[in-house]
Amino acid sequence: MIGNHDRRVIIVGGGIAGLAVARLLSENGLPFTLVERSDKLGGHTKDWACMAVDECKNCFCCLVFDYEDTVASCRNSEILVGYELSSVVSSDSGIQRVKVRQVDSGAEQEIQASALVLAIGFDTFDPVDKGFWGYGQIDGVLTLADLNHIIRSNDLGKLSPVPEGALDVAFFQCIGSRDKSIGANYCSQYCCGSAIRAALKLIHEVPGCNVSIFYIDLQLPGKTTRDLMEEAQEKGVRFLQGVPGEIRPLQEGGLQVISEIDGQNVAERFDRIVLSVGQRPSASAAAISKILGAPLNEFGFFETRTLFDAVRSPANGVYIAGSCSSPASIPDVAVSAGTVVSAIIADIEKAS
Ligand code: SF4
Ligand code: SF4
């Protein structure tokens, strides 16, 4: 048996990172308390659509349901939904006790802790913040998250133009990422793969759909995502380097975008523009950072000790999983959960 079972690992955040950590702790016989502020587990991942067409497209979103089922049946552990972290008591050897508060009633309870894992995830960039692409003002401009919602609701018909004809869709990549002007000079890691999967889904589901993807750079790690890009090219998806700066509604219907192709400005008409919005630090990161004394980096994500110790916070006894230390795809989150649990076990064994 590892460690003292009167003390629990506290996991703050019940999205895919927190659930992955909980599942691995339980497999290793370590009790945990998972604290989720909202009223549901699963985080953003649960809001994404399955992108399978003839076959699975390996987006890994459905992992969240397996994780949730496994975690719900873990013995000697608890899940507190609608609770938030309110205070901690630490010593030189790490976290000792944690208080959590019920969001609705304010009622607090204290838990004896052996470690604390931050898994609070990210917030999606809100394009209204930059006001440049007409999101929320121009009909037909939506985000990748909105498109996922439409696909999940089996409502793709509502994308088609009236009167019906071919559906021309453009994806704008790196919206709210790789952008110094908003303090987000980083890649959000997930949005190239997600946009390509969504393009393939649209082409498969909507007859006469044409897709163009405007990008700055393409983040396609591993063979799976490179194969997806090849498949998309074979199916006619256009990849165009450069992100148009302006979208204008046309009187006759549709949206005009001006892009630079081979040094020339070219105006094109689309029915829908999908903004591939990036990952931003969670709005609760600053408050949690204060409670724990866990520093944030220049972008507002949680800092880790070194490049080679990328799951321990400089604050003793605090570990960081998933995208709250830097933007991450689902496979990255799963890897970081494994590294966090290995680090906790190593530290508990070292201390005993
Ligand atoms: S991995 Fe993604 S595409 Fe494959 S079945 Fe799961 S949700 Fe669908
Ligand atoms: S994953 Fe692709 S779209 Fe997203 S920020 Fe990185 S390069 Fe841009």
- Ligand (nearest to CA of 200): 1
Q: State the pLDDT confidence band at 143, using cuts at 50, 70 and 90.
A: very high
Domain boundary pick from 245, 278, 311? 278
- Ligand (nearest to CA of 224): 1
What's the mean pLDDT in 290-304? Answer: 96
Q: How many residues does the chain have?
A: 352
Are 155 and 259 part of one and the same domain? yes
Residue 143 lies in a domain: yes
Question: Helices 191-205 and 144-152: crossing angle, nearest 10°?
Answer: 40
Amino acid at 140: G
Please give the distance, rounded to the nearest whole angstrom, from the Cα atom of residue 311 to the centre of ligand 1: 27
Contacts of 3 (CB under 8 A, 6+ apart): 30, 114, 348, 349, 352
Are 335 and 263 part of one and the same domain? no
CB atoms within 10 A of CB 262: 5
Are 229 and 339 part of one and the same domain? no
Q: State the pLDDT confidence band at 163, using cuts at 50, 70 and 90.
A: low
Are 16 and 145 part of one and the same domain? no
Residue 313 backbone dihedrals phi, psi, to 5 degrees? -80, 155
Are 21 and 138 part of one and the same domain? no
Model confidence at 3: pLDDT above 80: no
Are 50 and 169 part of one and the same domain? no
pLDDT at 78: 94
Please give the distance, rounded to the nearest whole angstrom, from the Cα atom of residue 305 to the centre of ligand 2: 26
Q: State the pLDDT confidence band at 160, using cuts at 50, 70 and 90.
A: confident
Residue 2 lies in a domain: no
Are 317 and 189 part of one and the same domain? no
Domain boundary pick from 278, 299, 330? 278
pLDDT at 352: 77
What is the rounded (10 degree) CA torsion for 51, 53, 55, 60?
Answer: 0
Lowest average pLDDT, out of 47-61, 124-138, 282-296, goes to 124-138
Are 43 and 144 part of one and the same domain? no
Letter string b/e over residues 214-223, b meaning 16 or more CB atoms within 10 A of that residue's CB: bbeebbeeee
Are 129 and 256 part of one and the same domain? yes
Q: Which domain holds residue 99?
A: 8-121+282-351
Are 131 and 274 part of one and the same domain? yes
> What integer best gives the mean pLDDT of the chain?
92
With a Cβ cut-off of 6 Å, ligand 1 is lined by 50-52, 56-62
Q: Find the CATH number of the domain harbouring 247.
A: 3.50.50.60
- Ligand (nearest to CA of 220): 2
Q: Is the distance from the beta carbon of residue 194 to the nearest atom of ligand 2 less than 6 Å? A: no
pLDDT at 351: 83
Residue 1 lies in a domain: no
Q: Is the distance from the beta carbon of residue 185 to the nearest atom of ligand 2 less than 6 Å? A: no
Lowest average pLDDT, out of 32-46, 61-75, 113-127, 237-251, goes to 237-251
Are 135 and 253 part of one and the same domain? yes
Model confidence at 2: pLDDT above 70: no
Are 251 and 133 part of one and the same domain? yes
